[in-house]
Structure 1
Amino acid sequence: MSTQTPAITEDTARHVLWHYGADGGMQPGRGTQSLMIAIDAADMVTVERLRLGFPELVNAMLRAKNDIGGVTELQRIAGAA
């Protein structure tokens, strides 16, 4: 099992930016929206379980939510900064 952090794609960055109301966001489909709501609301044990199936999305969500400069980094990935 790889312990490498997956790269965040441009689309995922845009979806997460949209979720947090940041510039450069793009509304995803309903399923992705629901998944992002679940990731945002979950406790860390559940987030780690969700990471098994959706590592890129969880990584991007946590970066935006918890890292200083995380939103700016996602905007760079999305080509919005």
Structure 2
Amino acid sequence: MDSITPEVANHVLFHYGRGGCQAGSFTEQIIKSIDMADPANRDKLALGFPDYVAAVAAIQYDPDGVANLTAIATSGEVAA
């Protein structure tokens, strides 16, 4: 799993309305693209933005994703 920084966790949480803090407009579009992407295009986006893809996948597919991202966002530590 790719590293998810507190900054990335905060941006993805905000995108999904779960707290966090808003990213800049470019990063918001990246998160939106990852959110909408089919698996093949998500894999392509992961080449350039592996941390954001990992965070979006966590919040979408892991039942504990919100809790895990919240822990990363508030801890200041990078999760691997």
TM-score, scaled to structure 2: 0.89
Q: State the alpha-carbon separation in 2 of the partners of residues 68 and 26 from structure 1.
A: 21
Question: Which position in structure 1 is the counterpart of 2:2?
Answer: 6
The partner residue of 1:59 within 40, 48, 54 is: 54
Question: Which position in structure 2 is the counterpart of 1:46?
Answer: 41
Aligned partner letter, 1:15: H
Q: State the alpha-carbon separation in 1 of the partners of residues 3 and 47 from structure 2.
A: 15
Aligned partner letter, 1:14: N
TM-score, scaled to structure 1: 0.88
Q: State the alpha-carbon separation in 2 of the partners of residues 6 and 41 from structure 1.
A: 20
Identity, in percent, stands at 40
Show structure 1 runs of 5+ residues with no match: none
**Large movers: runs of 4+ above 3 Å:** none
The partner residue of 2:73 within 64, 72, 78 is: 78
Residue-by-residue CA offset, 1:7-54 (whole Å, 9 max, x unaligned): 11000000000000003x100000000011111011000000100110
**Max Rg structure:** 1
Q: Which has the higher contact order (CA 8 A, sep 6+)?
A: 2
